[in-house]
Amino acid sequence: MTPQDVVKDIRSLFGAVGYLNMEQLASYLGKSTDALRKMKERGTLPIPIKLIGGRHCVSVIDVGHWLCEQPKTQPESFKAVSTEKQQRPTRSVQSLKSMLMLIQRNRSALTELECHIEKQIFENLFEKKNKGVIRD
């Protein structure tokens, strides 16, 4: 596998990106974000990290070169997870945020509707009580 193959593979999973954030890199490598954070803190993550938009990111090209330079005898836990078994992420962070905001708006609308229905019920009960249909 060449660095270009790795870059092509990363872009097939995450879109036409030039950089991966730590969550995306962890997902691609089959590691946790905590494991990558510890590697970064110890200085054992051999990929240059750039701060982009307040987030730590790595170049997909650097990831490609790093993975291709890995010795064949390296333990499986340090190799990239086969992308044939992985599914492409179905929702981006932005779409999840939009979905959560939609749910929150729907909850608010349902709460308003519930209050309106309760008000109507109490008004109907009050009317019936005043007409003498309902006794205490």
Q: Is the pLDDT of residue 97 over 90?
A: no
Confidence (pLDDT) at 101: 80
Burial of 3 (0-12, 13-18, 19+ CB in 10 A): middle
Query: For residue 57, what are its two tokens?
Result: 């990111």
> What is the reported pTM?
0.51
Same-domain pairing of 81 and 104? no
Name the one residue in this structure whose structure tokens are 């009317």. 127
Closest CA to 113 of 90, 61, 1, 121: 121
Same-domain pairing of 130 and 73? no
Residues forming a β-bridge with 19: 59
Mean of all residue pLDDT scores within the chain = 81
Same-domain pairing of 83 and 128? no
Confidence (pLDDT) at 62: 92
Q: Which range of residues forms the domain containing residue 11?
A: 3-88
